[in-house]
Amino acid sequence: MTATAALTAQNTQGVFAVHHVPSKFVRKQIDLCFDDVGVDVVKTGMLAVAETIKELAEALTSRNFDGKLVVDPVMVATTGAKLLPVEAVTELVKHLIPLTTVLTPNVPEASLLLTTAGFEQPAIKNVTDLETIGRNLLTLGPQWVLVKGGHSPLRQDYSVAEKPEERQIMVDVLVGADGQVFRIESGFQDSKNTHGTGCTLASAIAANLSIGMDVLGSVKAACRYVQAALKAAPGLGQGNGPLGHFHSLSIRPFAPGNFIEYVLERPDVAPIWERYIKHPFVLGLGDGTLPLSSFKSYLVQDYLYLIQFARANALASYKSKNLADISAAAAIVLHIDRETQLHLDYCKGFGLTKEEMEQSEEHVACTAYSRYVLDVGQSSDYVALQMALAPCLLGYGAIAKHLHADPKSKRDGSPYWTWIQNYVADDYVQAVKTGSELLERHAMLQSPSRINELVEVFKHATKRNLVEMSYGGGGYGGRNGGGYGGGRDGGYSNGHGSHGGGYGGGGGGGYGGGGCGYGGGGGGGFGGGGDRMSNLGAGLQKQDWDINALPKFEKHFYKEHPDVTNRSQAEVDKFRREHSMAVQGSDVPKPVETFDEAGFPRYVMDEVKAQGFPAPTAIQSQGWPMALSGRDVVGIAETGSGKTLTYCLPAIVHINAQPLLAPGDGPIVLILAPTRELAVQIQAEISKFGKSSRIRNTCVYGGVPKGPQIRDLSRGVEVCIATPGRLIDMLESGKTNLRRVTYLVLDEADRMLDMGFEPQIRKIIGQIRPDRQTLMWSATWPKEVRNMAADFLQDFIQVNIGSLDLSANHRITQIVEVVSESEKRDRMIRHMEKVMDGKDSKNKILIFVGTKRVADEITRFLRQDGWPALSIHGDKQQNERDWVLDQFKTGKSPIMVATDVASRGIGALSIARICLNSCDSLVSESGVLDVRNITHVLNYDYPNNSEDYIHRIGRTGRAGAKGTAITFFTTENSKQARDLLGVLQEAKQEIDPRLAEMARYGGGGGGGRYGGYRGRGGRHHGGGGRGANDLPMGGNRRW
């Protein structure tokens, strides 16, 4: 409660007038406050006149007030205005300060109080002078004095700043009895928005004292509150503006009990909800015009969904942390059980048996929604799961209520009226009420940002319900047939087993025919049987392609720029020589020298120029005209040379020239990559440059939940970036198809072959129309890659940047040391001491080893020796791998120990088996470590072949930077000596004489792309090293 002592006419520029409230009237206000609510803490502000101070002091003493008194001696405003006459200051010192618990003067007010009490004018040179002021004020009678230091900013050494640029810190000094002194320090904030700072601080102290905090805790918390309020100041007015007092408040955008209403009426939700509850499928139920076949298909899917709905509510029960919520979730599960029995009885009337429905395949839309719900439940909390379930629970009730009340709904003779009645029955209405109350109760406990997150979950789930309704109705998307198409004659829309058709076809237009969408009839899955891991891709149906029957598509986009046309062949040859560029094939386009010459549309060029690139890289100069020409292309260039953008930009142009995706269509562009991390990197580039065209993409890889990837694929994406194992999985389970793919990219083809993916790549390409455009990119050009190009590409043209022989990036200094196994650790430490010299070192070092066991051993050894090393390999959990990679990227842990898949020496078939769900996430140097600013690579163990050596050291020296690669070479590696010597000679590097001797006498070449078994650690998984990253660093910190 408040007793007002004075009114002021003021704004941010100053106090212009003061009206004193009569002191007796002020006393009356004080007494009324005490007599009604009661008072624990009194806080004073501007008391205005001596009489009012006397009245307040008398009121407190006459009542024997035993609470706390906080006095803010408001005497001088920030603007310099005098707010308390001299006689009033005397009364304050004489009558009120002796009763005070905490006195809070600023420096000018403290000086005035002390001089009034007979002390000398204090001089302030450092923080100890503020402490002296506090001790002197303590002699006037208060229990505690807080001297506010805002008027005396200090240097870092606690001396008073004399120049504006010297102001570094502020210190508020709290002085108490028995010599207690506490400094509350904060950084200096140069702000003019300080209006009401003192009043706010005193009020905050009083508020903290009122809830039982001690004086020190109250003062410190209040100071921190005001510091944050200064930062949050809104900047109002032309003078000293007010603080941002609301920085720690969170305000819910709805009244208690109105959360659901708020959600459904939000502008971003209402249109989605309206489409959901008034979907054409729903309206067809109401007026009886829905085709019976569509409804029967829906009934089957609804039965399959009810099982998942029950699972989700059981998960909600498990996620609950109190008995009331557990009981509520259990009650819903019991209701679902009763609803399922009703559903089965109802389905009998349509000739559908339980056995028939249980044997039916779940539609992709049903899978997408139900697994989205379960995924939310697994990855998030109880409330998010309830929000994911809410569209179904609330929606069915709202739909039935709307149809039941609609006079246009057909009651007599409608096969659907009973369904409507089921969902307005008392038991379902009660279930909706129970679920709604649960949501309302938990919504009151959420922050505003969390409310927005929950709304996003609700929106996404509602959209999935919309898709399910569209597909579940067997292609019912409009009153005149057509709809979303699919089935046997629907062109692309259904993918597997589609015979002819085209983009038109069917009653309702669109891409599909007016058949039965995902729902009506059809075959029986993908066949198969046997050991799936030993027969990867066996479930894919063989495609019989009739080129003449396939829809036509455009892939020729290149128009030569006049400047390029006017260049003579001699000029072209000179440009190619200068950029170490060689081309093969017939009619290879001339290279471009500027972005404008590439001829990309404006929407692409705007994105490119926004990135600030000065000119195309060598591979881009030649690769862009080749890719835009519609020809099949092979590009060979070192890692970090810009290959990704070379195929991404033409892909965007290609997509924008094709017809839009229809529901059920797969991607237009498919990019295959060997590893999860490379796939994610490619996705980042596609997202960056494709945003202006609203191109949708998804990244499909193993080692993570499938739910989000399935949702993306079911929604429709123009670009799919995938690792072969997970893509095979999606294709076999019918989550996507490749019949719309007309632009295929095989990135780092040599790495995919290393990892044993060739059989899967062949099966994937068998699902893609043969007249597609195919682009193959690689850092090396071994026989296996050449064979694959001959099989998959037609009349291809090729560009090679650098030598076709094994060659390394010439910006990398290669240091190869011939050592024994026992010397490796000492040599490694010697190099580390040079590389990581000084705590301010910005270097990052990536250490490659041959096995997971060695990775953990080396990591433990380094950490015990004081080096901040972390390891990453395939036995680590995904979240740990992500954390390690983040620590390395950000430089928090500048040393990372890694394995690479190919160096394990497992045969191609074994790799393929492991990789279906694992290798997509394992560490491979080709993708996981595309980290900027890796300055050094150390090959602790030499890889099985020299192609892998090229890839490993290619992690440094990227994007024009220089790098260093250190390699330990032992007699075990002697078969690789000749290849390695050739790489070093080509790059003009220093050569260890012992390596040259090995190459001369050690025999043959490198052991092949699927080289020999290394032994050390070999096939077994992990060697018990799960805790290497958790090992504390040794006391002798080396960095």
- The pLDDT tens digits of the residues spanning 541-583 come to 888 888 888 899 999 999 999 999 999 999 999 999 888 899 9
With a CB cutoff of 8 Å and minimum separation 6, the contacts of 426 are none
Q: Are residues 787 and 683 in the same domain?
A: yes
**Is the residue at 596 inside a domain?**
no
pLDDT on residue 78: 58
Q: What is the pLDDT of residues 645-658, one digit of tens each?
A: 999 999 999 998 99
In a domain, 28, yes or no: yes
More confident site: 741 or 925: 741
Q: Residue 484 — pLDDT band, cuts 50, 70, 90?
A: very low
Looking at residue 106, the DSSP 8-state letter turns out to be B
CATH code, domain carrying 131: 3.40.1190.20
The 3-class secondary structure across 128-195, one letter per residue, is HHHHHHHHHHHCCCCCEEEEEHHHCCECCCCEECCCHHHCCEEEEEEEECCCCEEEEEEECCCCCCCE
pLDDT at 1006 over 50: no
Position 938 scores a pLDDT of: 95
Residues 6+ apart with CB under 8 A from 845: 832, 835, 836, 894, 895, 896, 934, 935, 936, 937, 938
- Does the pLDDT value for residue 139 go beyond 70? yes
Distance of alpha carbon 728 from alpha carbon 70, whole angstroms = 72
Q: Which two tokens stand for residue 357?
A: 């429905």
Which of 722, 280, 235 is closest to 479 using CA atoms?
A: 280
Nearest to 295 by CA among 36, 133, 475: 475
How far is residue 392 from each of residues 76, 374, 378, 389, measured CA to CA in Å? Answer: 63, 14, 19, 6
- pLDDT score of 839: 60
The yes-or-no verdict on residue 192 having pLDDT over 50 is yes
SS3 846: strand
Angle, CA of 938, 939 and 945, to the nearest 5°: 150
DSSP result, 481-499: S-TT--STTSTTTT-TT--
End position of a domain, from candidates 458, 473, 488: 473
Q: Does pLDDT of 718 surpass 90?
A: yes
**pLDDT range class, residue 1025, cuts 50, 70, 90:** very low
Q: SS3 for 745?
A: strand
User: Contact 863/1028 with Cβ under 8 angstroms?
Assistant: yes
Looking at the fold, whether 213 and 179 belong to one and the same domain comes out as yes
Selection from 695, 686, 764 nearest residue 723 by Cα: 764
Q: Does residue 17 lie in a domain region?
A: yes
Residue 470 has pLDDT above 80, yes or no: no
Q: Considering only 20-34, 621-635, 909-923, which range has the smallest mean pLDDT?
A: 909-923
* Beta carbons of 257 and 241 less than 8 angstroms apart: no
**Domain-embedded: residue 889:** yes
Catalytic position from the list 33, 199, 237, 1018: 199
pTM higher than 0.75: no
Alpha-carbon gap, residue 969 to 172, rounded angstroms: 63
Q: Is residue 993 part of a domain?
A: yes
Instruction: Return the C-alpha torsion angle 629, 633, 637, 641, nearest 10.
Output: 40
Q: What percent of the chain has pLDDT over 90?
A: 37
φ/ψ of residue 753, rounded to 5 = -70, -40
For residue 281, tell me if it sits in a domain: yes
Respond yes or no: is residue 699 known to be catalytic.
no
- Tokens standing for 741? 């793919």
Question: Is 133 in the same domain as 160?
Answer: yes
Respond yes or no: is residue 1035 known to be catalytic: no
Q: How far apart are CA 289 and CA 312, in angstroms?
A: 33
Confidence class of residue 1017 from pLDDT cuts 50, 70 and 90?
very low
The answer to whether residue 133 scores a pLDDT higher than 60 is yes
Catalytic entry in 43, 54, 148, 876: 148
How far apart are alpha carbons 304 and 366 in whole angstroms? 8
Structure tokens, 226:
């005001």
Tokens of 355: 């056995």
Check pLDDT > 60 for residue 382.
yes
Burial degree of 549 (CB within 10 A; 0-12, 13-18, 19+):
exposed
Length of the chain: 1039
Higher pLDDT, 526 or 100: 100
Mean pLDDT (the chain, rounded): 81
**With 60 as the cut, is the pLDDT of residue 477 above it?**
no
Q: Say whether 148 is catalytic.
A: yes
Does 416 share its domain with 308?
yes
Domain of residue 54: give its range.
6-232
Count of domains for the chain: 4
pLDDT digits (tens, 9 = 90+) for 742-785: 999 999 888 888 777 888 899 999 999 999 999 999 887 778 88
Q: Are 817 and 868 part of one and the same domain?
A: yes
Question: Per mean pLDDT, which range of 779-788, 795-804, 1010-1019, 1024-1033 is the poorest?
Answer: 1010-1019
User: What per-residue confidence (pLDDT) applies to 223?
Assistant: 92
45-54, 641-650, 971-980: the lowest-pLDDT one: 971-980
Measured at the alpha carbon of residue 794, what is the angle toward residues 736 and 655, in degrees to the nearest 5? 45
The answer to whether residue 358 scores a pLDDT higher than 70 is yes
The yes-or-no verdict on residue 612 having pLDDT over 50 is: yes
Q: Check residue 1032 and give left, alpha or beta (phi > 0: left; psi -120 to 50: alpha).
A: beta
All residues at 6 or more sequence positions from 158 whose CB lies less than 8 Å from its CB, including other chains: 126, 127, 128, 169, 171
Give dist(CA 1008, CA 783) in Å, integer. Answer: 10
pLDDT of the residue at 876? 78
Tell me the torsion sign for CA atoms 290, 296, 299, 301.
negative
Helix (H) or strand (E) holding 814: strand 812-818
Strands 102-103 and 144-147: parallel
Residue 53: its pLDDT value, please? 93
| Segment holding 897, helix H or strand E | strand 895-898
* Torsion sign across C-alpha atoms 1032, 1033, 1034, 1037: negative
CATH code at position 278: 1.20.910.10
Q: What is the pLDDT of residue 909?
A: 27
Distance CA 493, CA 664 (A): 5
Residue 908 clears pLDDT 90, i.e. is over it: no
pLDDT of the residue at 1018: 35
**What pLDDT is recorded for position 539?**
74
Residue 6 contacts by C-beta under 8 Å, 6 or more apart in sequence? 18, 19, 20, 21, 46, 47, 48, 49
Provide the pLDDT for residue 1038. 53
d(CA 908, CA 810): 31
Residues 80 and 40 in one domain: yes
Q: Residue 909 belongs to what H/E stretch?
A: helix 908-915
DSSP-assigned letters across all residues of 866-890: T--EEEE-TTS-HHHHHHHHHHHHT
pLDDT tens digit string along 909-966?
Answer: 222 322 333 333 333 333 344 576 899 999 999 988 777 888 888 888 877 788 999 9
CA dihedral 625, 630, 631, 636 (to 10 degrees): 50
Last residue of a domain, one of 232, 249, 282: 232
pLDDT (mean) for 121-143: 91
Q: Which of 44, 52, 100, 194 is catalytic?
A: 194
CA-to-CA dists, residue 102 to 37, 77, 148, 519, angstroms: 23, 20, 12, 76
Query: Residue 1029's CB: how many other CB atoms inside 10 A?
Result: 21
Q: What pLDDT is recorded for position 516? A: 31
Could you give the angle at which helices 426-443 and 323-348 cross, rounded to 10 degrees?
Answer: 150
pLDDT band at 896 (very low <50, low <70, confident <90, very high): very high
Residue 367 has pLDDT above 50, yes or no: yes
Q: Which member of 134, 196, 483, 874 is catalytic? A: 196
**How many other C-beta atoms are found inside a 10 Å radius of the C-beta of residue 186?**
17
Torsion of CA 520, 523, 525, 531, to 10 degrees: 170
Regarding whether 205 and 72 lie in a shared domain, the answer is: yes
Q: Is residue 956 part of a domain?
A: yes
Is residue 790 located within the same domain as residue 817? no
**Residue 194 is a catalytic residue:** yes
Q: Catalytic: which of 45, 150, 176, 198?
A: 198
| 205 in the same domain as 270 | no
Q: What is the pLDDT of residues 828-881, one digit of tens each?
A: 999 988 888 766 678 899 999 988 889 989 998 898 888 889 998 877 777 788
C-alpha closest to that of 366 among 507, 469, 231: 469
What is the end-to-end Cα distance of the chain in Å, rounded? Answer: 59
Claim to verify: residue 866 and residue 840 sit in the same structural domain: yes
Same domain assignment for residues 30 and 126: yes
* End residue of a domain, out of 446, 473, 500: 473
Residues 204 and 275 in one domain: no
d(CA 99, CA 684): 66
Q: Name the nearest CA neighbour of 550 among 497, 587, 503.
A: 503
Question: CATH no. for residue 961?
Answer: 3.40.50.300
- Residue 196 bears catalytic tag: yes
Task: Give the Cα separation of 962 and 601 in Å (integer).
Answer: 34
Answer yes or no: is 947 within a domain: yes
Show the tokens assigned to 910.
């074994």
Q: What is the pLDDT of residue 619?
A: 93
